[in-house]
Structure 1
Amino acid sequence: MEFKWQVETIGQSAKQFLAQQGVSHRMFSQINHSNGQILVNNVAVAPATKLAVGDALTLIVPAEPADPNVPVSHEPLAIVSEDPNFLVVSKPAGLTVVPGPSNRTDTLVNRVKGHLVAEQEVNLVPHVITRLDRDTSGLVLLAKHRLANSWMNQELADHTLVKRYLAFVGGRLDQDHAMIDAPLRRADDGFNQIVADDGKPAQTEYWVKQRTASFTLVEVLLHTGRTHQIRAHFESIGHPLLGDALYGGDQQLITRQALHAFHLDYPDPVTHQHQTFEQPLPDDMQHLLS
């Protein structure tokens, strides 16, 4: 793939200029190891080459061939949006995102690979940007090539990529708006996360959307991205998510954690236009409101 820019400032090297375009140090290493090229005015140059105003810089990123260890799946894939760089899909509850020991043949990544193969794409390695737990539903953003992955990882670091969730938690939350600020780490004797002084910093902000006698619907914004953060944080304040067996949630109304990634927005790193996507509650969570 080729990516082109026009140089508008003086005194920068090609590497410095590309770093400002979101090409990370790791990305440079990948390009070097896969015969990528930097062209200035259609001539191959070294990364340290100084640029002049008006130069046309082209970055050639080699295609990523398919990983033979990741099988293709042609099971349904709910595509919300697609362009040459990114893919936004709606993941159902129960579908694992990436292949693992328990499922290597039909995960979200297998299905996306099947889609890319069917579309005869040259890059066949899906890069998951916003991963969800198996039993969490909602929007997932994937990069279709490694430079797009580099761009979005930088947006995650800069907090310009925003994800919002809807969750049903047990009991009535008294505060309409609050921040749960408590460090998390993995429990010594299980897969669950616990609040602990020696954990990693974690902040979860929430707004109450609706209350009933037995549960509360909240909108959630993560300020950090720890494993099971929403689930562990609400359990820590005595309000585990409905259906969340791992964290002690009530399973009478729903049999999976009642958590849905409903909102995603980010500035497109190519067009610089703001992208916003929303996905309604799935039937099993919508049923709780009725």
Structure 2
Amino acid sequence: MKRIFRYIIPEEDAGKTIETFLLEHEYTPTCIKFLKKAESLITVNGVWEFVNKKLKENDILETVFLDEEPSENIPSVEMPLDIVYEDEDILVLNKPDNLPIHPTKGYEYTSLANGVVHYYEKQGIPFVFRSVNRIDKNTTGLVIIAKNMLSGSILGESMRKREIHRTYLAITEGELPEKGTIDLPIGRREGSAVERCIDENGMKAVTHYKRLQYANGYSLAQISLETGRTHQIRLHMRAIGHPLPADVLYNPKFEVIERHALHSWKLEFSHPITKELLSFEQEMPEDMRNILRSI
């Protein structure tokens, strides 16, 4: 994947070094280190320059991010992709259930990453897979993929600053309160590489929820996250007595659905390059809608 960024230097940035200018445009030190690796990745008016070069008004600065090889250890595997949005910098996908984001043991050839690598391989494009938000294997819904190092680093920082707003839909057992906030720390369960637990010595985790519907023993909830801990929604809902049905780790009851009833419904964030405010929604999959029909 190749991406070229072009800047015409305004009067107020004249006299700044290339490095200072790039840092002010959200380039991380890692991005700048990459650009310094080879000639032609940083040019001013078509001429390769060091990053300590001072810029003049109306100079044309170009940076080039180039992935010459695809991600290591991610085999290319053809699979259908539900593409919600794509441009030069990001890819937004609707992930189905029973599909991990990255290859894992037992899913070396059946992950979202395998399919994305193949999608670009068909176009003759080496692709490094950079997932911005991660959801569990059996959680469905919206996932952001960064298409180059710069968009990945900017969106990664947006995640750390909680500037990417994630809203989920979940079906829980019992009648949820109308709304509430759960503030319970989460840590690893001793002796397990997978399970997490509520742990007073764990990492801070905050979940906000609102009940949208209740009938026949199940609630439909809209859930937003302040933090993004592993299994956060699943653990927090169980902690207040309203676990998700069919949660194989925390509530293995499969009467109404075959996987935990959780869907990444809405994402709102600023585009990493254009800064345009983006908002995406993806309706619940059929298995969750079937529970609602039944109640």
Amino acid at match of 1:140: V
Which residue number corresponds to residue 267 of structure 1? Answer: 270
Partner of 1:151: 154
CA distance in 2, matches of 1:257, 1:138: 13
The alpha-carbon deviation at position 34 of structure 1 amounts to 5.7
- Matches of residues 136-215 of structure 1 in structure 2 within 5 Å? 136-174=139-177, 176-190=178-192, 191-215=194-218
Alignment-derived partner of residue 137 in structure 2 = 134
In structure 2, the CA distance between the partners of 1:64 and 1:262, relative to structure 1 (3 Å rule), is: farther
- Give the TM-score of the pair, scaled to structure 1: 0.93
| Amino acid corresponding to residue 107 of structure 1 in structure 2 | S
Once the two structures are superposed, residues 224-258 of structure 1 have per-residue CA deviations (whole angstroms, 9 ceiling, x without a partner) of 11111111111111211111121125321112110
Q: Does 1:54 align with 2:52?
A: no
Deviation at 1:33, TM superposition (A): 3.9
For residues 148-203 of structure 1, what are the alpha-carbon distances to aligned partners after superposition, in whole Å with 9 as ceiling and x for unaligned? 211211221232221111001111112x2211111110110332211111101111
State the alpha-carbon separation in 1 of the partners of residues 44 and 90 from structure 2.
27
- 1:42 and 2:46 aligned: yes
Match of 1:228 in 2: 231
1:36 shift after superposition:
6.3
Shift, 1:14, TM fit: 1.5
| Distance apart, 1:126 and its partner CA | 1.8
Query: Structure 1 68/150 Cα, relative in aligned 2: closer, same or farther at 3 Å?
Result: closer
Q: Find out whether 1:81 has 2:89 as its counterpart.
A: no
Aligned CA distance change for structure 1 residues 262 and 35 (closer, same or farther; 3 Å): farther
CA 1:36–1:238: 2 relative to 1, 3 Å: farther
Contact 1:36 / 1:62 at 8 angstroms: preserved in 2? no
Contact 2:40 2:48 in 1 (8 A): no
CA distance in 2, matches of 1:155, 1:234: 26
Q: Does 1:252 find its partner at 2:258? A: no
The CA distance in 1 between the partners of 2:26 and 2:65, in whole Å, is: 14
Amino acid at match of 2:20: Q
Distance in 1, Cα, partners of 2:239 & 2:39 = 50
SS at match of 2:143: strand
Stretches of structure 1 that go unaligned for 5 or more consecutive residues are none
CA distance in 1, matches of 2:249, 2:40: 46
Q: Hey, what's the Cα distance between the residues in 1 that align with 2:39 and 2:260?
A: 45
TM, length-normalised to structure 2: 0.91
Conserved in 1, the CA contact under 8 Å of 2:36 and 2:42? Answer: no
In structure 2, the CA distance between the partners of 1:36 and 1:236, relative to structure 1 (3 Å rule), is: farther
Matched residue SS, 1:3: strand
CA distance in 2, matches of 1:85, 1:166: 27
Superposition CA RMSD, Å: 1.8
Deviation at 1:270, TM superposition (A): 2.4
Which residues of structure 2 form unaligned runs of 5+? none
CA distance, structure 2, for counterparts of residue 36 and residue 257 of structure 1 = 49
Q: 2:94 aligns with which of 90, 95, 101?
A: 90
* CA distances 1:106-151 after superposition (whole Å, capped 9, x unpaired): 2100000110011222x41121111111110111110112222112
Dislocated runs of 4+, deviation >6 Å? none
- The range that moved more, 200-209 or 20-29, is 20-29
Of 252-261 and 152-161, deviating more is 152-161
